[in-house]
Structure 1
Amino acid sequence: MTGPSGSAAARSPWLRAPATASGAPVRLVCFPHAGGAASFFRNWPGLIGPAAEVYAVRYPGREDRIAEPLARTMEELTEPLADALAPLLDRPVVFFGHSMGASVAYETALRLADRGTGTPAALLVSGRAAPHRLVRNGLADQDDDALVADVRRRGGPLAEALDHPDLLDLVLPAIRSDYALLDDYAPKARPRTLDIPVTAYYGTHDEHVAPDAVHAWSEISPDRFTARGFDGSHFYLVPHATALTEDVAARLTAVTPRPHQERTR
């Protein structure tokens, strides 16, 4: 059963808790992409199975938080997220983030470390350049057509939503806000390291993220880094959901309880 700390986190508006309390020894927290929402990971609990309790992060300004203001900066997003996730650290926790979610997961891990309350046991990033290899795209300042064209090029569930005018009106503000947040998130000349395993996943035909920029995540954890590519583009993880979650589940089983006072070097 989910313990008291897990129950507290489950009540947070920032997290979509597991449908059932599996009592698994490890927790997996999934961070969505720009414009995305917790529902992107709705199938992951079933795919991951008993390896972990699966939580999905709920960003403000979308789905059941649609009436709330959108986060304007990375700090606005990750400070309350760190508050929400701290109660989960009574067990090993692994972060998985796709695209923007990879940056959010990394920054949330840093904030938890700075507080001395612990860090995730591992960081899994997907479809995202390392912090010091990010490039501003400036699309947040362009018109709706430019935003829509970029989302269509990336593919994924949001691209399908753009075919429906009513859905477009709902998702476009979150997309624009997230792109602005990412442009404000300045590239880092020397990224801070984490003394935890870091795994980077990527689509081998992703025109938005070069493989060398993905492998640059190795500088976050020089001695504990691995990478794996999947045939596909930016949203490779949709057609390869089964293979990806099998790989994630295998990494989860390798996580064992340990002291949670990991600090950044």
Structure 2
Amino acid sequence: MAEIPPPPPALVTVPAREAPALRLFVFPHAGSGAFPYRALAAGLPPWVELHAVQLPGREAMFTATPYRSMLPLTSALVSVLAPKLDLPFVFLGHSFGGHVAFAVARALRARGSAVPRALVVSGSRAPHLPLGRNPLHDLPRPRLIDELRRYGGTPEAVLSNDELMDLFLPPLRADLTIYETNTFGPEAPLALPIVALGGNRDHATRTEQIEPWREHTSAAFTSRFFEGGHFYLFEQSKAAFTEALREMIEGLAGSGI
């Protein structure tokens, strides 16, 4: 029996603003839904509306088929985002989400649509670089769980619960398949600022894999590294990351957005 195609992704808005001046679209890391990123809204200026991308296969869409290749995912996201691009907007993507955000920004440019005022990537290797490690997406279940434990970011109560892992692993493998096998063709750099962030003890995405994001912009490039590992933005440096994000967005406002 043929697999049911993935449905369109959704957007989780936190909170809905009456008159936002800017929208922040957040692209989660592999296996994640929108929920972990909702807390970012509390640290944003009141005129910013946060939209977290909800991919099929997790949270409220846990029964849906996940995407396993970048092109259809990108095309679906462009369609979902299109009605919300009437205001200035910023993309933020963590790890796998950084590559998705970059792919969508390129696709918007190719269509002649509005593009982000800035692209913020976190814990994400520059898209032209090789993976730099052994792939995880096709590891046997016990080895993949061991790797997740080593990366951090997933509670032990989840990793040791077979029923929860039955739900978590399929979308995680799908996202990792995209992140680990997709290749970006050569294109002109994006004419928008790129901000590349990371953890200073991240063994999954090292400093030398993040700095080359500068090659993908013809505008300003900034990099910054926080205390912590791959999930620094949820752990040791949560407050510092949120403050840096707020300052960056306020800087855009100061320059007229």
- TM-score (normalizing by structure 1): 0.87
Q: Is the 8 A contact 1:86 1:112 kept in 2?
A: no
Gaps of 5+ in 1: 1-11, 261-265
Q: Which has the higher contact order (CA 8 A, sep 6+)?
A: 1
Question: Which residue among 207, 217, 220 is the counterpart of 2:216?
Answer: 220
CA shift for structure 1 position 15: 0.5
- TM-score (normalizing by structure 2): 0.89
Change (3 A) 1:37 1:158: farther
Q: Is the 8 A contact 1:127 1:209 kept in 2?
A: yes
Change (3 A) 1:177 1:158: farther
Higher mean Cα deviation, 233-242 or 154-163? 154-163
SS of the residue corresponding to residue 43 of structure 1 reads helix
User: Are 1:32 and 2:28 an aligned pair?
Assistant: yes
CA shift for structure 1 position 226: 0.2
CA shift for structure 1 position 218: 0.5
In the alignment, which residue of structure 1 is the partner of 2:174?
177
In the alignment, which residue of structure 2 is the partner of 1:263?
none
Q: Is the 8 A contact 2:17 2:49 kept in 1?
A: yes
Change (3 A) 1:191 1:245: farther
CA shift for structure 1 position 163: 2.5
Query: Given residue 198 of structure 1, which amino acid in structure 2 is its aligned partner?
Result: I
User: Are 1:106 and 2:93 an aligned pair?
Assistant: no
Q: Is the 8 A contact 1:202 1:229 kept in 2?
A: yes
Q: Is the 8 A contact 1:51 1:253 kept in 2?
A: no
Change (3 A) 1:185 1:161: same
Distance 1:226 1:51 in 2: 24
Change (3 A) 1:192 1:61: farther
Query: Given residue 36 of structure 2, which amino acid in structure 1 is its aligned partner?
Result: F
In the alignment, which residue of structure 1 is the partner of 2:249?
252
Question: Which residue among 7, 19, 23 is the counterpart of 1:23?
Answer: 19
Distance 2:14 2:51 in 1: 6
User: Are 1:207 and 2:182 an aligned pair?
Assistant: no
What is the RMSD of the two structures over their aligned residues, measured on CA atoms? Answer: 2.2
- Runs of at least 4 residues off by over 6 Å: none
User: Are 1:140 and 2:130 an aligned pair?
Assistant: no
Query: Given residue 167 of structure 1, which amino acid in structure 2 is its aligned partner?
Result: L
Aligned 1:78-93 pairs, distance under 5 A: 78-93=74-89
Distance 2:155 2:66 in 1: 17
Question: Which residue among 67, 73, 98 is the counterpart of 2:69?
Answer: 73
Q: Is the 8 A contact 2:88 2:116 kept in 1?
A: yes
